[in-house]
Amino acid sequence: MSKINFYLLEYAYSYILRHKNKNIFIVTIFTLLVALLTTLFFVTSSLRYELKERIANQSDIIIQNYKAGMPAAIDISVLNKLLEIKGVTAGKLEIDGKYYFKPKESIFYLLGVDAFEMQNDPMVIKLLEKYELSDSEILVSRNVQDIMHQAYYKEYFNFIKPDGSLQKVSIKASFDVGERVELKNLIIMNKDTAREIFGYGVDEGSGIALSVANKNELESISSKIRLLLPNAKVTSKDELLLEYEKLFNYDSGVFLSLFVIALFTFFIIIYDKANGLSSEEKREIGILKAIGWCIEDVLHAKFYEATLLSFFSFILGLGIAFVYVFIFKAPLLGRIFIHENMLEIHNFQLNIHIELSYILLIFLLSVPVYIAATLIPSWRVATLDADEVMR
Amino acid sequence: MIKLKNVSKIYGKNIKALQDISLEFSEGELIVLKGVSGSGKSTVLSLIAGLSKPTAGEVIVDGKKISKMLDHFTASYRRENIGIVFQKYNLIPDLSVEENVLLPLFPLNLSRELMRQKAKRVLEIFSIAHKVSLMVRNLSGGEQQRVAIARANINDPKIILADEPTANLDEKLSREFIEILRELKSKKRTIIVATHDPLFFELDFVDRVINLEHGKLL
């Protein structure tokens, strides 16, 4: 089997064409199965990748205050208490949050920064090195800039404060967030400006971010904080990851139905193939043997036939899944995989990120199985006496 | 050249196709195996072609024990030495005439040019070259048989085996086939025809007629 025999390859190809109807059915089911599985893997690996990217720039532990089950301001005195916990190396009061811009029904993410505090996000660090912000200036992402332009805000913007008064700021510059789609609605401003917009007091913020020296202690330190602040929501980096992953709330019922149907049909094909050949197929193998083909030649041709068919279906399924997920952004089925919040509130997007190990797994689960299911019955028939096959 | 020594063949549990028969065929002979259906004629051809193995006894061709050969060797023996013309032609209907004729050579992976030459030669000899690109299913019975004969001769085999070759032909086409056999015999081919068609029994170029009944020689 070392050298490609093009005559056998052509024979295999013609065999596929000669049994067109049956093979179109096989290709359809095979492709559908591969496309379904690949879609699932493409979606999950793409979202997981984005998730990891997001988490990478997060603080180790984030504490938010809750009153009557609602998010509430947190006082700086809490930070001093938390810094006394062993293992906590640094902490800062954060002022950030969502701002609903009604005219364009958009949600902006406001981040208050202090040029003298350490930042986690490399993009924010770069921006602060480049621009010095006064209390009346903001930096906006390109997307925010576009939204503001549509509402005729070009050089300045008016935020509406909780008491109904306006906070006027000038737009100093806009920035590109690249593939960081979670930051596409980001507005950066000084902490005091953000405090004014959200209506926090002088020593208040939206949360506290802590750094921990040993990442293995995240859980135990989080537990200590929970005991110390029973009303607070304490989220470690690990928990954040889990929380996000819970949003992969795909509707397993619908997906499983589709998957099981495709898998079931695929295995019926496999079962049907493995259980024997039709009398016509047997006769053809008998003819080939009678005119001088040996068992190896028959298997060689059958190998080409199964490889052509399964490889074609595999590549087609892969291509369909790629176009469906990354070009069309998984319409209809995408909602099965991704919770609506994921796309709309968390701004998750399906960027191209493919894990080859998954592709390999799907390949191993389909192509070799089909090849084996084609070769085994052909081998059984080819090992019989040719006259027995033809009688 | 071809020897069957005390050969028996039993199909399934107890269908005795041949019972302890011994036969010899010399090079260049044309032998007709005569007998009714089920007499064992086709089984003799099948054993000589190496398509099946005897239950007992030996089949020897040119000193080689065909009945003891492994599949790989039997296949190449068949490809190099044997040309078979089947009763139902056993062509692949959805392949072209040329593809059917060249089918035995596919595993050899020869050059395209050589393949084309070989196909052209046999198709011309058996007067079917004008139909080279047609699908076999679109040919008449007589034409299909010519294709089957051309395929059997693609490798210039020493031995031609024909199993009821005229069973599906009218008298005119049967006579044409007999003429083809005459030509092949003139080329010193050993030809064994299994038939119960009376046309063959009185041909002047037939060397021997062997009678078989219930798997035994008469």
Q: What is the pLDDT of residue B37?
A: 87
Once rounded to an integer, what is the mean pLDDT over residues A58-72?
88
More confident: A355 or B51: B51
Asked if residues A127 and A140 have their Cβ atoms less than 8 Å apart, the reply is no
Left, alpha or beta for A244 (phi > 0: left; psi -120 to 50: alpha)? Answer: alpha
**Does residue A296 fall inside a structural domain?**
yes
A380 with A340, same domain: the answer is: yes
**Does residue A10 fall inside a structural domain?**
yes
**Does residue B122 fall inside a structural domain?**
yes
Q: How far apart are CA A233 and CA A225, in angstroms?
A: 9
Task: Look up residue A235 and give its two tokens.
Answer: 């989220």
Asked if residues A87 and A214 have their Cβ atoms less than 8 Å apart, the reply is yes
A21 with A129, same domain: the answer is: no
Helix (H/G/I), strand (E/B), else coil: A235:
strand
Task: Look up residue A350 and give its two tokens.
Answer: 């399906």
b (16+ CB within 10 A) / e for B26-62: eeebbbbbbbeeebbbbbbbbbbbbbbebeebbbbbe
Residue B11 has pLDDT above 70, yes or no: yes
Q: How far apart are CA A99 and CA A82, in angstroms?
A: 28
Domain boundary among A144, A171, A205: A205
Q: What is the pLDDT of residue A390?
A: 57
| Interface contact A290-B94, CB threshold 8 A | no
| Sequence-separated contacts (24+) of B181-190 with Cβ below 8 Å | B181/B30, B181/B205, B184/B153, B184/B160, B185/B28, B185/B30, B188/B27, B188/B28, B189/B28, B189/B157, B189/B158, B189/B159, B189/B160, B190/B1, B190/B2, B190/B25, B190/B26, B190/B27, B190/B28, B190/B29, B190/B30, B190/B158, B190/B159, B190/B160
CATH number, domain at B147? 3.40.50.300
| Interface contact B109-A5, CB threshold 8 A | yes
Q: What is the pLDDT of residue A44?
A: 76
| Interface contact B84-A291, CB threshold 8 A | yes
**Does residue A66 fall inside a structural domain?**
no
Order of strands across the sheet with B64-65?
A: B15-25, B2-11, B56-61, B64-65
Closest CB to A291: pick one of B46, B76, B103. B103
CB-CB neighbors (< 8 A) of A293 in chain B: 75, 79, 104, 106-107
**Does residue A212 fall inside a structural domain?**
no
- Considering its fold, how many domains does chain B have in total? 1
Q: Give Cβ neighbours of residue B49 (< 8 Å, ≥ 6 apart).
A: A290, B78, B82, B84, B161
A303 with A201, same domain: the answer is: no
For chain A, what is the radius of gyration of the CA atoms?
31
Q: What percent of chain B has pLDDT over 70?
A: 100
Q: Is B51 on the interface with A (CB under 8 A)?
A: yes
CB-CB neighbors (< 8 A) of A21 in chain B: none
- Residue range A106-161, pLDDT digits in tens: 999 999 998 888 787 888 889 999 999 999 999 999 999 999 999 999 999 999 99
**Does residue A282 fall inside a structural domain?**
yes
Domain boundary among A154, A170, A205: A205
Beta-carbon count within 10 A of A90 CB: 14
Residue A341 has pLDDT above 70, yes or no: no
Residue A345 has pLDDT above 50, yes or no: no
Q: What is the mean pLDDT of chain A?
A: 85
DSSP E strands in chain B: the ranges are 2-11, 15-25, 30-34, 56-61, 64-65, 82-85, 159-163, 190-195, 208-213, 216-217
Residue A8 has pLDDT above 50, yes or no: yes
A256 with A184, same domain: the answer is: no
Q: How far apart are CA A290 and CA B82, in angstroms?
A: 9
Closest CB to A294: pick one of B52, B71, B92. B71
Closest CB to A295: pick one of B71, B78, B92. B71
Which of A182-186, A339-343, A352-356 is predicted with the least confidence, judged by mean pLDDT? A339-343
Band (B191; pLDDT cuts 50, 70, 90): very high
Closest CB to A387: pick one of B46, B91, B107. B46
Domain that holds residue A147: 74-205
Question: What's the first-to-final CA gap in chain B, in angstroms?
Answer: 22
Most confident of A45-59, B161-175, B203-217: B203-217
Asked if residues B199 and B182 have their Cβ atoms less than 8 Å apart, the reply is no
| Interface contact B72-A296, CB threshold 8 A | yes
Instruction: For residue A135, give the DSSP letter.
Output: T
**Does residue A277 fall inside a structural domain?**
yes
More confident: B211 or A389: B211
Residues present in chain A in total: 391
Q: What is the pLDDT of residue A206?
A: 93
Helix (H/G/I), strand (E/B), else coil: A93:
strand
Q: Are strands B30-34 and B190-195 parallel, antiparallel or unpaired?
A: parallel
Asked if residues B139 and B97 have their Cβ atoms less than 8 Å apart, the reply is yes
Q: What is the pLDDT of residue A255?
A: 61
Q: What is the pLDDT of residue A158?
A: 94
Residue A219 has pLDDT above 70, yes or no: yes
- Residue range A11-60, pLDDT digits in tens: 999 999 999 998 998 899 889 888 988 888 888 778 777 777 777 777 88
**Does residue B190 fall inside a structural domain?**
yes
Order of strands across the sheet with B216-217?
A: B82-85, B159-163, B190-195, B30-34, B208-213, B216-217
Which of A101-105, A108-112, A329-333, B18-22 is predicted with the least confidence, judged by mean pLDDT? A329-333
| Interface contact A294-B109, CB threshold 8 A | no
- Residue range A232-252, pLDDT digits in tens: 999 888 887 777 666 555 555
Q: List phi, psi (to 5°) of B119.
A: -65, -45
Q: How far is CA A300 from CA A20, A61, A250, A269, in A?
A: 21, 61, 43, 21
Q: What is the pLDDT of residue A69?
A: 83
Q: Give Cβ neighbours of residue B81 (< 8 Å, ≥ 6 apart).
A: B61, B62, B157, B158, B159
Distance from CA of A386 to the nearest CA of B (A): 5
Q: What is the pLDDT of residue A319?
A: 96
Q: Is A55 on the interface with B (CB under 8 A)?
A: no
**Does residue A370 fall inside a structural domain?**
yes
**Does residue B59 fall inside a structural domain?**
no
A304 with A201, same domain: the answer is: no
Q: How far apart are CA A39 and CA A321, in angstroms?
A: 5
Closest CB to A7: pick one of B78, B106, B155. B106
Q: Is B95 on the interface with A (CB under 8 A)?
A: yes
**Does residue B15 fall inside a structural domain?**
no
CB-CB neighbors (< 8 A) of B71 in chain A: 294-295, 383
Q: What is the mean pLDDT of chain B?
A: 92
Distance from CA of B51 to the nearest CA of A (A): 5
Asked if residues B77 and B50 have their Cβ atoms less than 8 Å apart, the reply is yes
Q: Are strands B159-163 and B190-195 parallel, antiparallel or unpaired?
A: parallel
**Does residue A181 fall inside a structural domain?**
yes
Q: How far apart are CA A387 and CA A391, in angstroms?
A: 6
- Considering its fold, how many domains does chain A have in total? 2
A184 with A117, same domain: the answer is: yes
Q: Can you tell me which residue has the tokens 């797994």?
A: A361
Is the pTM value of this prediction over 0.90?
Answer: no
A303 with A199, same domain: the answer is: no
Domain boundary among A177, A205, A233: A205
Residue B34 has pLDDT above 90, yes or no: yes
ipTM higher than threshold 0.85? yes
Q: What is the pLDDT of residue B38?
A: 86
- Residue range B43-76, pLDDT digits in tens: 999 999 999 999 999 999 999 999 888 888 888 8
**Does residue B19 fall inside a structural domain?**
no
Domain that holds residue B174: 27-53+75-217
A46 with A121, same domain: the answer is: no
Best of B106, B154, B158 to mutate (most A CBs within 10 Å, chain A) = B106
Look up residue A69 and give its amino acid. Answer: G
